[in-house]
Amino acid sequence: MEQMIAAFLGGSAASALISGLFSLLQDRLRRGKRRSDTEQALVDGMQFILLDVIAQRALRYIQAGEAELHDKQLLRRMHQVYHDGLGGNGNLDALMEQVDRLPVRLESWCAAERGED
Radius of gyration for the alpha carbons in the chain, expressed in angstroms and rounded: 16
How many Å apart are CA 93 and CA 114, to the nearest integer? 36
Question: Does residue 92 contact residue 52 with C-beta atoms inside 8 Å?
Answer: no
Decide which of 1 and 46 is more confident: 46
106 pLDDT more than 80: no
- Residue 24's alpha-carbon distances to 30, 35, 54, in angstroms, are 10, 11, 22
Q: Decide which of 89 and 52 is more confident.
A: 52
Residue 44: predicted pLDDT: 87
User: Where exactly are the structural domains of the chain?
Assistant: 2-113
pLDDT in tens, 65-90: 999 999 999 999 999 999 888 888 88
Phi, psi of 103, rounded to the nearest 5 degrees:
-70, 150
pLDDT digits (tens, 9 = 90+) for 12-30: 666 666 666 667 666 766 6
Residue 7 confidence (pLDDT): 54
Confirm if 35 and 28 have CB atoms less than 8 A apart: yes
d(CA 56, CA 59): 5
Banded pLDDT at 97 (limits 50, 70, 90): very high
Residue 63 pLDDT > 60:
yes
Q: Pick from 91, 93, 96, 89: which is nearest to 71 by CA? A: 96
- Does this model's pTM top 0.85? My answer is no
Share of the chain above pLDDT 90, in %: 38
